[in-house]
Copies of this chain bind each other. A is one copy, B any other.
Amino acid sequence: MIKYPNGIRKNNTKCLKQSVANRGMTLEKELNLSNEYYLQANICNIHKKPTPVQIVSVDYPERSKARICEAYFKTPSTTDYNGVYRGFAIDFEAKECNCKTSFPFALIHPHQIKHLESVIFHGAIAFLIIRFTQYDETYLIDATKVCYKYHQKRRSLPYSWCQKNGYLIRRTFSPPLDYIKTVDQLLKEKENEKI
């Protein structure tokens, strides 16, 4: 409660809530910084794929300089991040979700689910990184489990289900989102499953 000099009292809970949600960087920025850190430290080689763009016209004001003057965004047919770690092909999609109770499947394109299933079939380690911005919690969830839920014609993944089936990613200073340690946990679980 803020006491203004003219007697007005304003409840600033909404403002407080916002400040919690935007406490840190966006998930994409944190992942890019972490990937940069991992690359420099020789831990893994994972990159974000560039946004697919359909280029229509390009202008050449100078011989060495090209300026794209008309282009359109294309729907991505694959996930955003992929690379290699400990000999494994890594493939994942990262999503932020503002909802408190669940992660809606509407946030993932159907061909992204198809892509995840395909890379799993070919032997990649695939997962989803979901951030519940309201709680400022980020979970890494095995894509096999997510795809299974998706085909049950569910409209969303409940928050409690993510807590139970996902791994909470630890926030650190550098890298900002140390998700590769969580990938280690996932790999360990997958090895145990095989035995």
Contact = CB atoms under 8 A, between A and B. Distances in A.
A59 to B, nearest CB: 10
B78 A89 contact: no
Contacts of A123: 84, 86-88
Interface in A23-66: 39, 42, 44-45, 47, 49-53, 55, 66
Contact of A86 (B85, B90, B122): B122
Contacts of A175: none
Interface stretch (A69-77, A102-110, A137-145): A69-77
Contacts of A68: 53, 68, 70-73
Interface of A: 39, 42, 44-45, 47, 49-53, 55, 66-74, 77-78, 82-91, 115, 118-119, 121-124
A44 to B, nearest CB: 6
B66 A69 contact: no
A143 to B, nearest CB: 13
